[in-house]
Amino acid sequence: MKYIKKSFYEMSITELASDFAKEEINPKAASLLYRHFYKEKSTEACAHHNLSKKAKAYLSDHYSFDLPIINNVHISEDLTVKFLIEFNDGEKVESVLIPFQNKYTLCLSTQVGCAMKCSFCFTGTQGLKRQLSTSEIIGQFILAWNWLKINRPMESKTQQLKNIVFMGQGEPLHNFDAVKKACEILLDQHGASLGCQKITISTAGYLPGLKRWNEEMPGVNLALSLHSVVEEKRNELIPINKRFPLNEIMDYIRTIPLARKQYIIFEYLLIKDFNDSIEDAIACGEYLKDVQAIINLIPFNPFPGSLYQKPDAKTVLAFQQKITEYNIPALLRTTKGDDILAACGQLNTKINSLTSLNSSPAKRL
């Protein structure tokens, strides 16, 4: 008898254990499998001697361990790696592996395209095709980890993949359930065992998702795409601000319980002659001065067809200095991967005409 197989990468450890218990298989097999596939990052079948024959047969009949494929890889001069990930239905997303200060950060996508239509973002030009499943989100993590292990073996030991940011294609809180479950899998102590403060979820301000945050999302970091506190400017940059105004968003953000040394991250994309003036900095500082905040300043990264430009270094530093006068940490984010369209706001799979001497064809790990 043929069964419709479930993806292992879709399952929480609790769901696995419950499934095994129903089949009179030792539920402890769930933690063994989590260690094998998440902690050890194995892509081979688990042959551990503590896994019974019955469990192995059940897994073979009822579970799929298939991963997406890496359709293409582009490597930047600064060693940032952009993956074009292809799923079973042929849809694709991009994810980015970013080296920084002796560790790697992985930027994950959560949707094929995006419905938010932010004017500064290349992804917004392609519209929303569909949501990603939890297994498709986790698959990006497994593929990136194993690519690093195979292609940069020394660095994979000394510069491990320590941070996850949900800042790729898509609005994470518009795909709340899949993102929440992916976080729970990545946090589980039997598996990847990442810390809550090693995972950051970015939102353009999707209020229905934010309303669920306190009760449902594990204590990971929240980043808000701010970019301006001036309503007219934010409306242009982030059209959903007209539906979910910044003041309403902030009402919910102020209720989020924060751990010690945990902050709300505000992302501020600096655009030449639009939101980069000293007056803009003063408005931002006044607005956030009573919030437990960190501001990431990101000089705009141009993409094909973009209407905006990157400000000069002097303007960026003046903006940063003015923000710090409000005792708000303002960090200037180093641009990574802009030569391969892998920097913030540059991801797009609808127009994937980029060519590179460092690209490689599709492969399955």
Q: List residues with catalytic annotation.
A: 94, 344
Distance CA 253, CA 273 (A): 29
Q: Which two tokens stand for residue 76?
A: 């930047």
Distance CA 355, CA 236 (A): 32
Distance CA 269, CA 302 (A): 11
**Which residues 6+ apart lie within 8 Å of 212 measured at CB?**
176
**Whether 165 contacts 97, CB under 8 Å:** no
Greatest alpha-carbon span in the chain: 69
Give the angle 203-205-206 at the CA atoms, nearest 5°: 90
SS3 content of the chain, % helix, strand, coil (to 5): 35, 20, 45
Which of the 8 DSSP states describes residue 269? E
**Whether 172 contacts 220, CB under 8 Å:** no
Distance CA 96, CA 167 (A): 10
Distance CA 46, CA 44 (A): 6
Helix 134-151 × helix 176-187 angle, to 10°: 40
3-state secondary structure of 362: coil
In the numeric block, the tokens 């303007």 are attached to 315
Sign of CA dihedral 308, 108, 253, 282: negative
Distance CA 170, CA 129 (A): 10
Strands 199-203 and 161-166, sheet pairing: parallel
Q: How far apart are the first and last CA of the chain?
A: 29
Residue 207: phi, psi to the nearest 5? -60, -40
